[in-house]
Amino acid sequence: MRLAPGVNEADMHAAIQKMVTVVGAEWVFAADEDLDLYRDAYSPLMGERDEKIASAAVAPDSVGEVQQIVRIANEYHLPLYPISTGKDLGYGGSAPVLSGSVVLDLKRMNRILEVDEKNAFALVEPGVSYFDLYRYIQEKKLKVWIDVPDPGWGSPIGNSLDRGSGYSMTSYRNHFDSHCGMEVVLADGEILRTGMGALPGAKTWQQYKTGFGPWVDGIFSQSNFGIVTKMGFWLMPEPEAYLRGEVFVPRYQDMIQLIEKLNLIENGRICGGMMDLYSPLLGAPSPFELQDWLEEGLPSRDPELVSLIAASEIGYSQELEEYALRKSVPYWACSLKFYGSPRIVEAQWETVKEIFTDIPGATFVQGDFIRLPLTEEQKNRIHLPDFSIPSLRQFSLGARSPFNAHPNQGHMWFSPIIPRTGEAVFEANRVLMQAAKDLDLPMVGSFVLPSLFWERSLIWIIGVPVMEDAAVNRKNRESIKKLIRIAADHGWGEYRTAPVYQDAVSDAYSFNNHILRRFNETLKDAVDPNGILSAGRYGIWPRHLRKDLTQ
């Protein structure tokens, strides 16, 4: 059994026996074959001595059982690591940050407590998955949508607390921003309700976010200050229609105006759906195209173009641009999605085309125009998350296929936030692609196009594969830590990262002698003096495990 620092075997066994009396022997797991299920399936430490391994796991069924487990953990100073469904692959999965922690598995707490169609909100427990909530809505024939990530087997609570995102309208894609009210078991076993939930008998817990006084919800995201056992979410009313339009621009420097226009139409709510940047010329696909390519193989390419791309720098050369103009292949493109009544989405698309005509040579193609709800045939040819439908299709990324005979063991995400400008896109590629090359990190393509999940910023994302070769993984881990530092030196910080990099990212947020980390540690010491909750999560360590991370 892997024990956490400061925990002896006798106390561990005593605590486990007390947990058995709370949840029953069938819901406490300590055998190796059971604990293998709580390892990170994409761990970059796989098979190494430092791999993150739990000592045990316990699965409560109710808030009351969570409270009792927390009190037992305090009695024995036993570290707990709460998970909702543990499906956050690429960012740590179900493995604890601190080896030897007891995983507090909340999957049995899977009740959908309320879905209000008229006011478009839901209240759920942490074990509810996106599939569960989607099926519930479909079975009840409710006219509301959930915003889902890709893949969608995780928990709305877990994904929002890690500040994940989805694909539908701007108001719902930021999953933490779309939450409203939460219930939290604190480290001493007390129950806290945020927002209007602090008012006994409140009628608007899922309708008004902030309640009275400081809005504390944010401290429970990407942190270890409490265990969220209920959470409300605002849902999207099912629209009448969906329209997708494509904007194409011919020249490399058009990226600057393209993003300026995208900012205008999103900030002005002319387009409320997810936007996808891609490059027909460079072969950088949209998310939907990428999945097709992974499953069906890469499209054939002109050998002349392949040669020109290979010789380009940061995705550009004069000869490459001349090729694009000669062959009428757009340099950049953007897919835009509109939701609403047919007349509104058509008017929005026409307005967008008028705005983009300022870019010389811009062209437009109207894609799908769908009156909702979808037919079964339509579901077979669309990107399901655009329509609030959870899917596991994303696992085609890196999987074995007729076109990929040597799959990897998963991936590690590197995902800094960069400014929402074309100039920043070029600079990030110049700096980070060169750094990745110098560090011998495996990269896909010659140019990384950022994602537009969030408003007013961009996410520059690469996935570094996890291999069976521990030496390769070790080299890549150290390279990613250096890449984090290089990005930080240019003002680009990670929005989220796997446990193995959380201290490195926390260290990069160093304004005023790491005041943010010191403030978080002050909160940790106040609300969790025994340091029992998720030690080290997002770089927040309890007092007895702290070290000088700046050295």
Active site (catalytic) residues: 91, 495-496
Half-sphere exposure at residue 75, Cβ-oriented, CA atoms within 13 angstroms: 14
Give the burial class of 1: count Cβ atoms within 10 A of its Cβ; 0-12 exposed, 13-18 middle, 19 or more buried.
middle
Q: How far apart are CA 433 and CA 414, in angstroms?
A: 12
With tokens 């260290």, the residue in question is: 507
Q: What is the four-CA torsion angle of 86, 92, 98, 101, rounded to 10 degrees?
A: 10
Burial of residue 49 (number of CB atoms within 10 Å: 0-12, 13-18, 19+): exposed
Helix (H) or strand (E) holding 114: strand 112-116
The answer to whether the CB of 168 falls within 8 A of the CB of 273 is yes
Beta strands in 428-518 (DSSP E): 457-459, 462-465
* Residue 80, SS3 per DSSP: strand
- Count other C-beta atoms under 10 Å from residue 134's C-beta: 17
Instruction: List 243's β-bridge partners, or say none.
Output: 338, 369
Question: What are the backbone angles phi and psi of residue 275, rounded to the nearest 5°?
Answer: -110, 140
Question: CA–CA separation, 159 vs 126, rounded Å?
Answer: 10
Q: How far apart are CA 46 and CA 473, in angstroms?
A: 9
Q: Which sign, positive or negative, has the C-alpha torsion 24, 187, 108, 45?
A: negative
**Residues of the chain by 3-state class (helix, strand, coil), percent to 5:** 40, 20, 45
| Contact indicator for 181, 195 with CB cutoff of 8 Å | yes
Token code pair at residue 331: 């340099």
In whole angstroms, give the CA distance from residue 95 to residue 114.
Answer: 30
Question: What CA–CA distance (Å, rounded) separates 404 from 393?
Answer: 16
Q: Minimal CA–CA distance to 258: which of 468, 429, 425?
A: 425
Q: How far is CA 161 from the centre of its chain?
A: 10
Cα separation of the two ends of the chain: 31
List the structure tokens of 435: 């750094």
Nearest-angstrom CA–CA distance, 221 and 164:
10
